[in-house]
Amino acid sequence: MRMNNRREGKTNGYRKRSLRFILLGLVTAILLFMGGYFLLNQDQNKQEVIEHILNDQFSAADAELIRLLESSENATIIGGSELVAFQEETELENYFEQKYRSYFTEDMYEKYITTYFFTYRVPAYYSDIQLKVDDISFKKSNDSDNLYHFTVYVSYGDKQKAEVTGRARVNDNNKISYFNILQDNDLSKAISGFNR
């Protein structure tokens, strides 16, 4: 009888240990799965921020933007050797703030508006050329955190196509802190009328 009790005790001990290992393995697997999902979701959110800006960059200028650009109330007057600007914010500045500020860090917002914003949409509008994003692909850099290489496939005019490549970095707050178009295969020249 004592022998049976010992065997049952050992068997129950093995079962308890086996159950602990199974539970430990299951909890570990769940944590790994959730961690991977979290990282994948973070990357996806960062790519969506870049994708939003690229879709906007390579699309037709909206009527509101053109109205604001053509309004004399949004003009900055340059006189002689000094720049005379209106003191209060213009409607155009408010338009930029509402549409783009939340996607960029402070420094990159200023750079984007002054360097990239007017490169494609506005010249395409005045050249009567339609821009359309066909596809965007991303590749995350292995060398640098949160740096993405992108390729935008753009259709414009009558069946012309361009492949635009660049890089963008999105910080942990999902704001673009670096944005650079590396190559546009002369798209900017084509829509500005330099190739006509």
Specify whether the CB–CB gap between 147 and 138 falls below 8 A: no
**Helical residues (DSSP H) of 101-179, grouped into ranges:** 106-111, 117-126
pLDDT score of 144: 72
Residue 146 binned pLDDT confidence (cut-offs 50, 70, 90): confident
pLDDT score of 78: 46
Cβ contacts of residue 7 below 8 Å, gap of 6+? Answer: none
Q: Give the three-state DSSP class for 133.
A: strand
Percent of the chain with pLDDT over 70: 70
0.85 cut: is pTM over it? no
Mean pLDDT to the nearest integer, 143-166: 93
pLDDT score of 2: 55
**Gap between the Cα atoms of 60 and 33, Å rounded:** 42
| Tokens, residue 176 | 């673009």
Residue 38 binned pLDDT confidence (cut-offs 50, 70, 90): very low
Higher pLDDT residue, 7 or 190?
Answer: 190
pLDDT score of 179: 97
Tell me the per-residue pLDDT of 72-106, one tens digit each, with 9 for 90 and over. 887 655 445 555 555 578 899 999 999 999 999 99
CATH architecture of the region 2-62+90-192:
Roll (3.10)
Domain spans in the chain, listed from the N-terminal domain onward: 2-62+90-192
Mean pLDDT to the nearest integer, 1-13: 57
Closest listed residue to residue 191, CA positions, set 137, 150, 132, 149? 132
pLDDT score of 158: 86
Percent of the chain with pLDDT over 90: 54
| Tokens, residue 146 | 């949160």
